[in-house]
Amino acid sequence: MTTRPYLLHALSPLHAGTGHAADVIDLPTARMKATGIPFVPGSSIKGVLRDARRSAADAGDGKLEAVFGPPTSNASDHAGALVVGDARLLALPVRSFRGTFAWTTSPLLLALARRDLEAAPAAPRVQDRGARVAPGSVCLHQGRLYLEDLDLPAAEAPEIAPWAALLAPLVSLEEDIFTKRLTVVDDETMAFLWETATQVDARVRIDARTRTVATGALWLEESLPPETLLVGLLAGDRSRKPGVDLKPEQVLDHALPGEQILQLGGKATVGRGRCRIVPVTGKGAAHARS
């Protein structure tokens, strides 16, 4: 089985929900049970990729079913050759007193990303020792970071630069706005931010007769804000569909041949979930955008 990392870049608020919750927020975003890290389920991403690849060209050659599996009615015929892993938070955009916002991550999130990103071993491990920024940051103000309501002592750190160099070509297609906004905070602060720095919107349903809010139709909905970065893994195996011969690399190329802009998660009709999905290959970001 061959694996290939992918970057998920939210271009509009992204709501990957878990249904109703007995909490202040009626429709929270999905979080991993043990860690609380926000994520987008791989099953959602796989369905969107399948729809994107469904076309007249795919209808007769059998590749669509070989890669993604047969329809539910024939699910026992064979397994699909593609495995889509969950997309886990890598960096959260957080309001900043300087620089407008900062792409904020932590040593834990970078360590988890390091396992998935093929090029990440070239980037150094980042220790959990306070807030740091890449050299030349526009978010640093007199040795401090002001993120949301947090006042954090911070300094430029050379070990952040390789991570910025790795991710910037995937995030900023033309002008590099990523490097000077990459910020690393300690794990506890990051856990606080991914709980409190998400986007929460009040939604209502209007009664058609009275033109006022319908009884009981006021709810709070949580989303990951635009510019959120998540990372996940695709895995390809050989085709199991009779008559269709695909190697693992061909399966991955068919599922995600290059950067695509797709709609993910719920609330698509109100503009939620517009995302870039970028395959990360050993050939670098230029290949990813082809």
CA separation for the pair 266, 116 (Å, rounded): 26
Q: Is residue 212 domain-resident?
A: no
Kindly report which listed range (21-25, 106-110, 113-117, 186-190) carries the lowest average pLDDT score. 21-25
Q: Is residue 111 part of a domain?
A: yes
239 in a structural domain: no
* Residue 46 belongs to a domain: no
Asked whether residue 77 is domain-assigned, the answer is no
Per-residue pLDDT tens digits for 149-178: 999 999 999 889 999 999 999 998 788 999
Number of domains present in the structure of the chain: 1
pTM assigned to the model:
0.89
The answer to whether position 83 is within a domain reads no
Q: Which domain holds residue 116?
A: 94-197
Report if residue 35 sits inside a domain: no
Which residue is associated with the tokens 């139709």?
217
State both tokens at 205.
């349903």
> Does residue 121 surpass a pLDDT of 70?
no
Residue 43 lies in a domain: no
What secondary structure does DSSP assign to 185-248, as a single string? --HHHHHHHHHHSSEEEEEEEE-TTTSSEEEEEEEEEEEBPTT-EEEEEEEE----STT----H
